[in-house]
């Protein structure tokens, strides 16, 4: 039954709770210093800074959530209307009032002795630079308006919502990635566009922001039926309708085109973007390697960084002229690489053997222990005569093929090298996935006993996963050492293992596309364990955001952003069986009624 | 078309014969792994035994570690182990009830110690710390316990409860995320610097002769006493109260417990709360022993305490305490004795290597702990 509800038909308790949660989130972001720090970064001149973006989404989200009610199956959802807007506004207003109270508290009591970021900077940001009285009023109006906006997003039809969402999103993305967009414009030799879009003091001008928004709206409204997906489908259709000979010829053309793009990309990206791309590439390789162990063979390895360290230290110990152990002969990179690969595979098997019978969480902890042991050994005085202790090994020569040198400082050149490695590991992972070994890994992951009963040698399969994963990590490590030119134990902390794990889990375990997306989104945008990403402002809050993303993904989408079909089926298996059980129970009840 | 078929048939037969030979060779191959594991076992025992033997001989000959130093190391080991034990209780209880490793437990511990640092600072500024240390200690203990309990309960409510029926690896990964989140929340709110607790009064820093012949630092006695009292309190709570009985029942079998009229959700919350409270106590013990705390302090002690929990047998509360003390001893005494006895330079830099080696060896060779597991869980590794 559809009903129009009176304007006051809502649960006061729910609304108050939502408002309080929104206020808590805003105050939290302010108290950890994010608001104050981000406020210096202008997104749209005299309209929006990154700081207000960081808190602005909260009333919108909570306004949306509070106005949206769970629809119960079998009952028509209530008609959306002014009541929803009122709910959203109330949530926003409550949030605004509580946040203002927090600002007032920070203004009257000096909290900086404990909460170090609650000083005048945060206070003036929370009151929009005004006095506490007028500022509070502004804050309440700000939150209320955004709450109403959030509720309005819920009230409007999905089409309108998506148009508004995409338009605002695009504008904000263009504003946030100002520095990188400028680089790109420079690469495309259209620097003029940047000076039109962005004001000289930083940020989009109001006019250009409005223009971009309007343009995206226009494209969304009039460009229906010409979107990228439609074009892709058409190309695919065209491709499949061709004869094999034509396809073969075309694949040559595609290959050549791909190679041309590969040659051009770093020139367009420019130096700093190439640097980011190299970091993303290295983490992508590590992610793909860890995916073989975790995603394919189903063994949660938290010490993966150990193999990365083995690769980096191996190359450094064999090629650097300043290696601490001078009795080791100095080799060329390409001679040293096979040795490093063999050593890494051996270490992989060495670590893999004791844990062969372990599963799940104990395996995770033991591998974590191995990772820590290896890092601490590289740091220790005991191994210092060979690996240099805390000082590490410096002057690792860069890679060169014939006359071409891939010097570490020249990130454009390194990009070429990393891209080849990424492509190679990608192809390897892809081929492994459906190979005999890959299928035996899948069986192993699903059920070890059954796999063994089917004749799979679990010992060999597991050790092979460890060895291949180790070799891939060592390759990334070797390239890392040659690129950076030095290795220190501090580059191989436990944190690196965890970050790689987060990358592949957020992207989607077992899904190669997913891992690529995960690496780009997390490492590229937010930044790696030590290196900054495109959003340099996030540096200090990077790992906090990593944590939030990881928790959110585990709660809402444990299969990842771009899941592999198999994996998501595994994860939702219990839900399916539960539903089946419920259905059965329902049938049973009906039967009873009949007999009664 | 006949040719491919033939090849296929050949393939099939070869697969069958391979499988047969594999199953025959299976024992041999497993034997290879077993042999390797035995090799590690024997090597570890030989290395440790030789190290201890040599350092004992060296001490008796009047060189190397002196008897006083031995005493010191053992006492430090026991005190630190008591702290690990308190922390291990939380792991043990959560693993016993829910069956996953709560990585964020170390952060719960850090949070309690961090918040009570500010209280301690305030008490010091007001002079209460100096004039009435017992009261100050009581206050910071209560603050730490409350903070840690609160964090543990909130974490359970927000992150773990929705994952009650998920595969066990999911809450484990979630807890890594929570660990990141809590660490950098504390770094953001309170700053990234290392915070140092005010020094305890002189009578605690001096050595007291226990039983007339064993000189022990006052703080270490205090640590052991606090740990012992908490342990006894926890034992009575778990063994003698209704809530404790409910907890044991839920750990045994959630569904049956629910059928018996136990509120499983509430019992799990109380498990987290009690584990959190013990982590808070451990936070204060840490403050007494090391005095400095920062936002990354929690992680490593957390992992080590998990080793202690496994060593004592998951779900075995007294075992967790014993496991903690064994680990503390191993870490303190082992570093100097084993490596000193083996003549490895820079043993101090290898402290974590020792404790993580202990972790690996325990998990690989004795995953059921010293006394075996007390609480059953459906599919424990």
Task: Look at residues B282, B288, B336, B267 and name the one whose alpha carbon lies nearest to residue B148.
Answer: B282
Whether the pLDDT of residue B270 is over 50: the answer is yes
Residues A487, A490, A495, A496, Cα dihedral to 10°: 0
Percent of chain A past pLDDT 90, that is, above it, reads: 27
Task: Look at residues A440, A437, A300 and name the one whose alpha carbon lies nearest to residue A371.
Answer: A300
Task: Look at residues A349, A376, A330, A358 and name the one whose alpha carbon lies nearest to residue A471.
Answer: A349
Domain that holds residue B234: 79-365
**Higher-pLDDT residue of B9, A17:** A17
* Per-residue model confidence (pLDDT) at position A591: 40
Q: Which residues of chain B does A377 touch, with a Cβ-Cβ cutoff of 8 Å? A: 350, 353
B73 in any annotated domain? no
CATH number at B294 reads 1.10.3470
Is B318's Cβ below 8 Å from some Cβ in A? Answer: no
Most confident of the ranges A179-188, A300-309, A404-413: A300-309
B16 in any annotated domain? no
At residue B72, what are phi and psi to the nearest 5 degrees? -55, -45
* Per-residue model confidence (pLDDT) at position B372: 65
Q: Which residues of chain A does B35 touch, with a Cβ-Cβ cutoff of 8 Å? A: none
Closest CB to A382: pick one of B177, B189, B345: B345
Q: Which residues of chain A does B185 touch, with a Cβ-Cβ cutoff of 8 Å? A: 28, 32, 544
Pairing state between β A48-49 and A404-406: unpaired
CB pair distance less than 8 Å for B178 and A34: no
Tokens 């209307």 locate to A81
Q: Which of A24-33, A136-145, A247-256, A372-381 has the lowest mean pLDDT?
A: A247-256
B114 in any annotated domain? yes
Predicted-complex ipTM score? 0.87
Domain A269-575 has CATH 1.10.3470: yes
* Per-residue model confidence (pLDDT) at position A488: 92
CB pair distance less than 8 Å for B346 and A376: no
Tokens 């929570």 locate to B178
Cβ proximity of A286 and A491 under 8 Å? no
* Per-residue model confidence (pLDDT) at position A575: 55
Which residue of chain B is at minimal alpha-carbon distance from A381? B346
Phi-psi label, residue A375: left if phi above 0, alpha if psi -120 to 50, beta otherwise: alpha
| DSSP count for chain A of H helices, then E strands | 25, 4
Q: How confident is the model at residue B115 (pLDDT cuts 50, 70, 90)?
A: very high
Q: What is the pLDDT of residues A90-146, one digit of tens each?
A: 899 999 999 999 988 888 888 888 888 888 888 888 888 888 888 889 999 999 999
CB pair distance less than 8 Å for B177 and A574: no
Whether the pLDDT of residue A413 is over 90: the answer is no
Q: How confident is the model at residue B30 (pLDDT cuts 50, 70, 90)?
A: low
**Higher-pLDDT residue of A337, B337:** A337
Q: Which residues of chain B does A455 touch, with a Cβ-Cβ cutoff of 8 Å? A: 18-19, 22-23
Q: Which of A518-527, B53-62, B210-219 has the lowest mean pLDDT?
A: B210-219
Q: Which residues of chain A does B363 touch, with a Cβ-Cβ cutoff of 8 Å? A: 358, 362, 365-366, 369
Q: What is the pLDDT of residues B276-287, one digit of tens each?
A: 999 999 999 999
Cβ proximity of B84 and B324 under 8 Å? yes
Sorted by where each begins, the domain ranges of chain A are 1-155, 269-575
Q: What is the CA radius of gyration of chain A?
A: 28
Count: domains in chain B: 1
Q: What is the pLDDT of residues B297-329, one digit of tens each?
A: 888 899 889 888 888 888 788 888 999 999 998
Whether the pLDDT of residue B166 is over 90: the answer is no
Minimal C-alpha gap between A17 and chain B (Å) = 15
Minimal C-alpha gap between B187 and chain A (Å) = 8
Q: Which residues of chain A does B159 touch, with a Cβ-Cβ cutoff of 8 Å? A: 551, 554-555
* Per-residue model confidence (pLDDT) at position A203: 81
Q: What is the pLDDT of residues A153-179, one digit of tens each?
A: 888 888 888 888 888 888 888 888 888
Minimal C-alpha gap between B208 and chain A (Å) = 35
CB pair distance less than 8 Å for B350 and A376: yes
């Amino acid at each position: 039954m559809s009903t129009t509800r009176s304007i006051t038909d809502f649960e006061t308790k729910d609304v108050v709770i939502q408002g309080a949660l929104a206020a808590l989130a805003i105050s939290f972001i302010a108290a950890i210093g994010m608001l104050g720090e981000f406020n210096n970064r202008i997104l749209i001149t005299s309209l929006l800074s990154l700081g207000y973006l960081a808190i602005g989404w909260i009333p919108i989200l909570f306004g949306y959530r509070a106005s949206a009610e769970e629809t119960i199956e079998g009952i028509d959802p209530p008609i959306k209307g002014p009541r929803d807007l009122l709910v959203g506004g109330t949530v926003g207003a409550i949030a605004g009032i509580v946040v203002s109270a927090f600002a007032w508290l920070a203004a009257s009591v000096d909290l900086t002795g404990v909460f170090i970021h609650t000083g005048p900077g945060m206070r003036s940001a929370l009151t929009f630079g005004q006095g506490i009285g007028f500022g509070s009023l502004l804050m309440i109006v700000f939150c209320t308006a955004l709450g109403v906006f959030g509720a309005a997003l819920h009230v409007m039809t999905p089409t309108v919502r998506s148009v508004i969402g995409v338009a605002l999103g695009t504008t904000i993305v263009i504003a946030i990635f100002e520095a990188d967009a400028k680089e790109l414009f420079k690469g495309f030799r259209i620097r003029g566009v940047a000076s039109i879009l962005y004001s000289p003091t930083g940020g989009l001008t109001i006019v250009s922001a409005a223009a971009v928004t309007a343009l995206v709206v226009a494209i969304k409204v009039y460009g229906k039926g010409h979107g990228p997906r439609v074009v892709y489908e058409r190309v695919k259709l065209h491709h499949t309708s061709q004869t094999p000979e034509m396809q073969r010829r075309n694949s040559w053309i595609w290959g050549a085109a791909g190679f041309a793009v590969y040659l051009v990309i770093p020139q367009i990206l420019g130096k700093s973007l190439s640097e980011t791309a190299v970091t993303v590439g290295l983490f992508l390789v590590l992610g793909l390697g860890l995916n073989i162990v975790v995603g394919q063979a189903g063994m949660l390895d938290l010490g993966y960084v150990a193999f990365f360290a083995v690769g980096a230290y191996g190359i450094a110990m064999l090629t650097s002229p300043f290696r601490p152990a001078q009795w080791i002969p100095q080799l060329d990179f390409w001679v040293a690489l096979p040795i490093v690969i063999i050593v890494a595979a051996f270490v992989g098997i060495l670590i893999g053997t004791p844990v062969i019978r372990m599963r799940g969480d104990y395996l995770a902890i033991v591998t974590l222990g191995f990772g820590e042991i290896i890092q601490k050994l590289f740091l220790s005085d005991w191994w210092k005569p060979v690996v240099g202790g805390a000082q590490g090994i410096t002057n690792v020569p860069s890679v060169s093929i014939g006359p071409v040198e891939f010097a570490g400082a020249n990130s454009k050149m390194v990009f070429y090298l990393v891209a080849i490695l990424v492509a190679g590991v990608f192809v390897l992972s892809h081929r492994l996935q459906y190979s005999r070994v890959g299928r035996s890994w899948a069986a192993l992951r699903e059920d070890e006993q059954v796999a063994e009963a089917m004749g799979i040698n679990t010992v060999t399969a597991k050790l092979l996963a460890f060895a291949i994963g180790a070799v891939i990590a060592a390759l990334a490590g070797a390239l890392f050492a040659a690129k950076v030119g030095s290795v220190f134990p501090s580059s191989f902390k436990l944190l690196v293992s965890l970050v790689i794990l987060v990358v592949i889990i957020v992207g989607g375990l077992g899904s190669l596309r997913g891992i690529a997306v995960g690496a780009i989104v997390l490492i590229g945008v937010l930044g790696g364990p030590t290196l900054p990403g495109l959003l340099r402002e996030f540096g200090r809050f990077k790992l906090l955001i990593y944590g939030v993303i990881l928790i959110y993904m585990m709660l809402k989408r444990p299969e990842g952003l771009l899941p592999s079909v198999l994996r998501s089926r595994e994860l939702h298996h219990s839900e399916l069986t539960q539903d089946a059980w419920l259905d059965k129970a329902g049938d049973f009840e009906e039967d009873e009624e009949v007999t009664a | 078309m006949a040719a491919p078929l033939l090849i296929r048939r050949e393939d099939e037969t070869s697969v069958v014969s391979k499988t047969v030979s594999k199953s025959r060779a299976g024992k041999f191959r497993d034997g290879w792994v077993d042999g390797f594991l035995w090799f590690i076992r024997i090597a570890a025992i030989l290395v440790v035994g030789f190290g201890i033997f040599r350092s004992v001989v060296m001490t008796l000959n009047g060189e190397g570690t002196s008897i006083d130093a031995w005493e010191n190391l053992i006492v430090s080991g026991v005190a630190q182990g008591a702290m690990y034990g308190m922390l291990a209780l939380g792991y043990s209880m959560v693993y016993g009830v829910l069956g996953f490793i709560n990585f964020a437990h170390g952060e719960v511990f850090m949070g309690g110690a961090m918040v009570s640092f500010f209280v301690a600072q305030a008490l010091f500024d007001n002079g209460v710390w100096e004039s009435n240390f017992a009261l100050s200690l009581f206050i910071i203990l209560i603050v730490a316990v409350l903070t840690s309990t609160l964090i543990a309960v909130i974490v359970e409510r927000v992150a773990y409860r929705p994952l009650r029926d998920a595969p066990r690896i999911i809450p484990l990964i979630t807890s890594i995320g929570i660990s990141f989140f809590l660490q950098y929340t504390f770094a953001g709110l309170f700053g990234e610097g290392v915070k140092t607790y005010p020094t305890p009064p002189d009578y605690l820093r001096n050595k007291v002769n226990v039983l007339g012949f064993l000189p022990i630092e006052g703080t270490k006695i205090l640590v052991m006493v606090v740990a012992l009292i908490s342990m006894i309190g926890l034992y009575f709570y778990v063994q003698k109260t209704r809530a404790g009985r409910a907890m044991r029942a839920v750990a045994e079998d959630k569904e049956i417990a629910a059928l018996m009229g136990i509120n499983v959700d509430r019992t799990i919350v109380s498990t987290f709360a009690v584990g959190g409270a013990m982590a808070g106590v451990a936070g204060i013990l840490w403050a007494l022993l090391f005095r400095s705390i920062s936002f990354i302090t929690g992680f490593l002690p957390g992992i080590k305490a998990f080793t202690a929990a496994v060593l004592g047998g998951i779900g075995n509360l007294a075992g967790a305490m014993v496991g903690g003390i064994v680990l503390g001893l191993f870490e303190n005494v082992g570093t100097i004795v084993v490596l000193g006895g083996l003549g490895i330079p820079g043993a101090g830099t290898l402290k974590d290597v020792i404790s993580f080696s202990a972790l690996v060896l325990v998990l690989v060779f004795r995953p059921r702990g010293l006394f075996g597991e007390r609480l059953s869980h459906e599919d424990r590794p």
